């Protein structure tokens, strides 16, 4: 699951998701300033950044939960900027929200069924989610309130998968979880990608993001401060972009970074 070594983005055709100059306000606060990104089929695109950088706002806007002040969201060649969230889900843009947002009084399986409400046709069924997370089958009748954070996160991922996403938006999977659990959850990513799903994720845990991403962008106070492939950026560049040491957004080119490793 690493980026191709030749410096070429995955997928030479059109991006599956093309976010153009997105501006989003929360009241008077400008949460995102002219953010653009292109996610190609098969990629794991990571948005990194500190608290309040605008990562969740970006993901939620792509899912249709915030309305941008300016800019456009083009998905599979179609402008979806004004499309309602449920229509985006049916079209294949599906989010695992920060904090899971399960229905705690419902059982595991009932939560998965909720995910299928706006489902596309596709390979993911509840049975296939049980194949991905074998522990779920025998606990399908248990209320999710009684489950650990890691288990709830897995249910939230399963709930998104049964909607058969083409683009899966993952908001801070690692939040509040022990590192070993985070690794286990991210360990599922290859199987999800193999099913044809493209991933756009938000992570505050930079090392985790760099481990799985084929492309990344760093946000700081709503601005883009770094974009490139993990293999082409240095730890110093990521640190500078994350903490704001240096002001100009930099797009990293494979041919002018020497031996870059983050
Ligand atoms: P975190 O990791 O803490 O969630 P983030 O990078 O995801 O941070 P956002 O949650 O997108 O950042 O927040 C960006 C800015 O917008 C912050 O200043 C936050 O306080 C503000 N903000 C986010 N949501 C709202 C909202 N619903 N109403 C008002 N302000 C908001």
Examine residue 154 and state whether it is found in any structural domain, yes or no: yes
* Whether 215 contacts 229, CB under 8 Å: yes
Q: Where are the beta strands (DSSP E) in the chain?
A: 17-26, 29-39, 44-48, 70-75, 78-79, 93-96, 167-171, 198-203, 215-220, 223-228, 250-251
| pLDDT recorded at residue 247 | 46
- In angstroms, the CA 91 to CA 20 distance is 19
Examine residue 76 and state whether it is found in any structural domain, yes or no: no
Task: Please say whether the dihedral angle defined by the alpha carbons of residues 137, 93, 102 and 1, taken in this order, is positive or negative.
Answer: positive
Query: Which residues, 6 or more positions from 20, have their beta carbon under 8 angstroms from its beta carbon?
Result: 36, 71, 72, 73, 74
pLDDT digits (tens, 9 = 90+) for 131-184: 999 999 999 998 988 888 889 999 999 999 999 999 999 999 888 888 888 888
- In angstroms, the CA 39 to CA 92 distance is 14
Q: Is any ligand 1 atom within 6 A of the Cβ of residue 49?
A: yes
Examine residue 120 and state whether it is found in any structural domain, yes or no: yes
Tokens standing for residue 243: 């903490």
Is 202 exposed, middle or buried, given 0-12, 13-18 or 19+ CB atoms closer than 10 A? buried
Examine residue 189 and state whether it is found in any structural domain, yes or no: yes
The size of the chain, in residues, is 262
Q: Which of 22, 25, 49, 55 to mutate to test the pocket of ligand 1 (most atoms within 8 A of CB)?
A: 55
Residue-averaged pLDDT of the chain: 87
* Whether 17 contacts 92, CB under 8 Å: no
Q: Is any ligand 1 atom within 6 A of the Cβ of residue 97?
A: no
Examine residue 24 and state whether it is found in any structural domain, yes or no: no
Q: Is any ligand 1 atom within 6 A of the Cβ of residue 52?
A: yes
Q: Which of 22, 24, 25, 26 to mutate to test the pocket of ligand 1 (most atoms within 8 A of CB)?
A: 26
User: What's the domain count of the chain?
Assistant: 1
Q: Is any ligand 1 atom within 6 A of the Cβ of residue 196?
A: no
Q: Regarding predicted confidence, which is higher, 257 or 208?
A: 208
Tokens standing for residue 27: 């009241």
Examine residue 240 and state whether it is found in any structural domain, yes or no: yes
Q: What is the pTM of this model?
A: 0.88
Examine residue 72 and state whether it is found in any structural domain, yes or no: no
pLDDT greater than 60 at residue 248:
no
CA 212 centroid distance within chain: 11
Domain housing 188:
41-57+84-254
Q: Is any ligand 1 atom within 6 A of the Cβ of residue 51?
A: yes
Cα–Cα nearest to 186, from 163, 162, 206, 211: 211
CA 45 centroid distance within chain: 7
Cα 240 to ligand 1 centre (Å): 21
Q: Is any ligand 1 atom within 6 A of the Cβ of residue 32?
A: no
pLDDT digits (tens, 9 = 90+) for 210-219: 999 999 999 9
Q: What is the CATH number of the domain that holds 113?
A: 3.40.50.300
Examine residue 6 and state whether it is found in any structural domain, yes or no: no
| pLDDT recorded at residue 103 | 74
Cα 6 to ligand 1 centre (Å): 36
Q: Is any ligand 1 atom within 6 A of the Cβ of residue 223?
A: no
Q: Is any ligand 1 atom within 6 A of the Cβ of residue 67?
A: no
The residue whose C-alpha atom lies closest to atom 31 belonging to ligand 1 is 26
Rounded to a whole number of angstroms, the CA Rg of the chain reads 18
Strands 44-48 and 93-96: unpaired
| pLDDT recorded at residue 3 | 41
């Amino acid at each position: 699951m690493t980026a191709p070594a030749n410096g070429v983005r995955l997928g030479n055709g059109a991006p599956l998701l093309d976010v153009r100059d997105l501006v989003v306000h929360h009241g008077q606060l400008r949460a995102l300033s002219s953010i653009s990104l292109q996610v190609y089929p098969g990629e794991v695109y990571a948005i990194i950044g500190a608290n309040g950088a605008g990562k969740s706002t970006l993901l939620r806007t792509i899912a249709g939960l915030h309305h941008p002040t300016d800019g456009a969201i083009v998905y599979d060649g179609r402008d979806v900027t004004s499309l309602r969230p449920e229509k985006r889900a049916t079209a294949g843009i599906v989010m695992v929200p920060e904090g899971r947002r399960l229905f705690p009084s419902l059982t595991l399986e009932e939560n998965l069924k909720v995910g299928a409400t706006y489902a596309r046709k596709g390979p993911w069924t509840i049975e296939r989610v049980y194949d991905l997370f074998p522990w779920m089958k025998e606990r399908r009748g248990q209320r999710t309130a009684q489950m650990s954070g890691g288990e709830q996160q897995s249910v939230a991922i399963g709930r998104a998968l049964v909607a058969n996403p083409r683009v899966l938006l993952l908001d801070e999977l690692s939040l509040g979880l022990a590192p070993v659990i985070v690794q286990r959850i991210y360990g599922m990513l290859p199987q999800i990608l193999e099913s044809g799903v493209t991933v756009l994720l938000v992570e505050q845990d930079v090392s985790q993001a760099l481990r799985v991403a084929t492309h990344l962008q760093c946000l700081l106070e709503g601005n883009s401060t770094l974009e490139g492939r993990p293999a082409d950026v240095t730890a110093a560049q990521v640190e500078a972009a994350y903490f704001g040491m240096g002001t100009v957004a930099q797009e990293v080119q494979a041919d002018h970074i020497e031996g870059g490793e983050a």
